[in-house]
Amino acid sequence: MVQPRYKSLVDKLANEIRIGKLLPGTRLPTHRHLAAEHKMSLATASRVYAELESMGLIIGETGRGTFVRELSLSINHGIENPTAADMLDLNFNYPSLPIQAELLRTELKRLATSGEIESLLRYQPHSGKLHDKIVISQYLKNKEITVEPENIIITNGAQQGIAITLLSALKPGDVVAVDALSYPGFKLAALAHHLEILPIPITPLGTDLDKLEELCKKRAIRALYCIPTLHNPMGWVLTLKQRQQLIILARKYHFMIIEDATYAFLVKKAPPAIVTLAPDITFYISGFSKNIASGLRVGFIVAPTNTISSLERSMRVTTWNTPALMTSIVCQWVKEGVVDKLEHLLRKDAQQRQKIVSEIFEGLTYIHHPTSYFLWFPLPEEVRADKIVASLHQLQISVATAEPYATTSNIPHAIRIALASININLLCDTLKKIREIIEYQVDL
């Protein structure tokens, strides 16, 4: 069988990239120029680049063009690949405090002598024990979110909360709207469930709601995933007016809202959660990985009443039931006020780390929230993100490019820096090295 001519060009360019004839960072011809050079249609030229991009060999960057990718970096750098033990990790966030290990040791001793320990060895109710749900509902009430325990599903972390919400509420091919930059774990879950991701343009202050309405008029959107309080990675907090406008759109165009509140605890006084304003159409998802420990995989969903049985079925076909031992630990800490104490200390810790950022990056442009554990660093026009990341890797520093966070085909030119996972005493020197690498690339 004769191979299509465009396939030969794909193979030729792929080989030149792999053997180093086309070096990382090389700007490739525009689609139109490629079409003219090889006497093919514009659609065929676009198909050549699409295949090379799917192979992980090139990358399109908004407003800049198409470039050869830095092959020393993983395609999904920043989400799917764990950081090496000897790396200074500014890629993932796993906040921790010195007191937490001793708290765990004490709680395990208490559990070892408690009368309920045998019950932890048995199957649990699919959506969690009622008394654990009552504890979580009280925890939410303290955050001005009033919810009935029966509307809570306890999950194995917030990520599972996202996954089973998609599994139970949507079907393959459904359209889910999501910010043009958003949490990578949602994107991976949506693709795994064969959902169509529809990017929404963003503004410095949040989701572009006018653009969202334009999309609603053109497409049958079934759900919207949003992070209204401390957006990851942009750090915004939507105003009450923005939240109300979003709900108006959801009711007008009949889509459900998936509200991710993973980092919301870091904002002391935020506008009301969307679930409190529209509980009948909102899935509120959060967990205890960021405010207690990433190893304690306990999360929860607050869901509309008519979706509970479907969510329970999804729990049954994934992990069967909630994590009994870890849920017991978390709920005890909620009752004792330990979680409130940890959240208070983590907010102070995040503020201290952001203060260091402001000192080291003075004079540079970046996007952040004063109590967040991350920042978004748009790069100057002449500096490439993959070059920055590769150079930092050589210094044993790990950061993420924009690629895992982008839901658009064109990738913004930026890096995302996580602040929580290294000792605060190391943060200053590490950020100085990041600045030095960026300025060195600018000078080049």
pLDDT (tens digit per residue) in 303-361: 999 999 999 999 999 999 888 999 999 999 999 999 999 999 999 999 999 999 999 99
- The candidate with the shortest Cα–Cα distance to 399, out of 423, 382, 381, 374, is 374
In terms of Cβ atoms closer than 10 Å to its own Cβ (0-12, 13-18, 19+), residue 178 is: buried
pLDDT less than 70: residues of the chain: 1-3, 72-85
- The candidate with the shortest Cα–Cα distance to 195, out of 175, 217, 225, is 175
- Provide the β-strand partners of residue 416: 376, 400
Do 375 and 417 meet the contact criterion of CB atoms below 8 Å apart?
A: yes
At a CB cut-off of 8 Å and minimum separation 6, what does 36 contact?
none
Q: Which tokens sit at 98?
A: 């010195």
Q: Which tokens sit at 271?
A: 């506008």
pLDDT (tens digit per residue) in 8-23: 898 899 889 888 899 8
- The candidate with the shortest Cα–Cα distance to 226, out of 177, 185, 270, is 177
The reported pLDDT for the residue numbered 222 is: 98
* DSSP category for residue 7: H
Give the strand pairing for 196-200 and 175-179: parallel
